[in-house]
């Protein structure tokens, strides 16, 4: 290989390497390491604008609408039991976890926008452990047999999660409760809160709530049966 050809090869190689480096730099800047920050830091630290951040917080009750596209909601620090601290708005583009709901801890990853909201493309949820005794709770069959006399009356009910029915909040029902593991009487359950950690198909649960006129049980609390610990 003569000198001119060798110099040309070196020049082409350098251009290719520079192009590859530019591609990796671009990818890194758009989807690189996310900095884990608290809700308070994200809400007040202007130096984070434009950065990719990861932040976790409790979903503010009533702040979300699953039917909105993209979905938006607010989170606040988990320790802020009084509800007086900073909140951060999240604009989320992605599948909604079935465990999402009021009060659940949502951990989101995305870019902090100039107006303070997070454009998130990733979300996982962390559910609390929740157990309750089924003593005194009505089986689904008894609940339905009571008919109109039970409509609007707050009760404690128990049953099993029907396989394949657990869904994200915002729809007609969150899951279906059956009288026993093999089926039998069943009722649709509406619930907007955080599902207990470990709840899955076939889990025995204890609910607090009331049957509405349309036959749907609107729950205010969902817990795993105490004996399933």
Domain termination site, one of 98, 126, 154: 126
Domain housing 20 = 1-32
Q: What is the pLDDT of residue 26?
A: 41
Q: What is the pLDDT of residue 128?
A: 79
Residues 71 and 117: beta-carbon distance below 8 Å: no
Domain termination site, one of 89, 106, 126: 126
Specify whether 46 is located in the same domain as 114.
yes
| Residue % of the chain over a pLDDT of 90 | 58
Judged against a pLDDT cut of 60, whether residue 80 lies above it is answered with yes
Specify whether 178 is located in the same domain as 208.
yes
Give me the sign of the Cα torsion angle 169, 135, 180, 203. positive
pLDDT tens digits, one per residue of 136-177: 999 999 999 988 888 999 999 999 999 999 998 888 899 999
Give me the sign of the Cα torsion angle 100, 101, 107, 112. positive
Query: Tokens at residue 96, please?
Result: 């909604």
Specify whether 136 is located in the same domain as 224.
yes
Specify whether 145 is located in the same domain as 172.
yes
Q: Hey, is 189 helix, strand or coil?
A: strand
Tell me what the mean pLDDT of segment 196-207 comes to: 93
Specify whether 173 is located in the same domain as 210.
yes
Specify whether 181 is located in the same domain as 140.
yes
| Overall domain count for the chain | 3
CATH number of the domain encompassing residue 106? 2.40.50.140
pLDDT tens digits, one per residue of 90-130: 999 998 888 888 889 999 999 999 999 999 999 999 887 88
Q: What is the pLDDT of residue 147?
A: 85
**Predicted confidence band of residue 29 (pLDDT cuts 50, 70, 90):** very low
Tell me what the mean pLDDT of segment 178-199 comes to: 90
Q: What is the pLDDT of residue 27?
A: 38
Specify whether 122 is located in the same domain as 40.
yes
Q: What is the pLDDT of residue 2?
A: 58
Specify whether 28 is located in the same domain as 73.
no
Specify whether 23 is located in the same domain as 49.
no
Residues 89 and 117: beta-carbon distance below 8 Å: yes
Q: Hey, is 87 helix, strand or coil?
A: strand
């Amino acid at each position: 290989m003569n000198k001119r050809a060798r110099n040309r090869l070196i020049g082409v190689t350098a251009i290719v390497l520079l192009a590859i480096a530019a591609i990796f730099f671009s990818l890194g800047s758009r989807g690189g390491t996310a900095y884990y920050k608290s809700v308070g830091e994200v809400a007040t630290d202007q130096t984070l604008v434009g950065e990719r951040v990861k932040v976790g917080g409790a979903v503010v009750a009533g702040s979300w609408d699953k039917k909105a596209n993209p979905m938006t909601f607010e989170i606040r620090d988990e320790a802020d039991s009084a509800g007086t601290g900073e909140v951060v708005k999240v604009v989320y583009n992605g599948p909604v976890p079935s465990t999402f709901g009021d009060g659940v801890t949502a951990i989101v990853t995305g870019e902090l926008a100039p107006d303070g909201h997070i454009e998130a493309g990733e979300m996982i949820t962390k559910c609390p452990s929740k157990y309750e005794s089924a003593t005194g709770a009505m089986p689904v069959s008894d609940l339905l047999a009571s008919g109109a006399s039970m409509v609007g009356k707050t009760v404690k009910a128990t049953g099993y999660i029907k396989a394949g029915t657990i869904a994200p909040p915002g729809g007609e029902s969150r899951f279906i409760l059956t009288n026993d593991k093999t089926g039998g009487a069943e009722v649709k359950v509406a619930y907007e809160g955080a599902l207990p950690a470990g709840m899955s198909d076939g889990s025995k649960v204890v609910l607090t709530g009331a049957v509405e006129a349309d036959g749907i049980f609107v729950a205010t609390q969902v817990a795993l049966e105490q004996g399933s610990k």
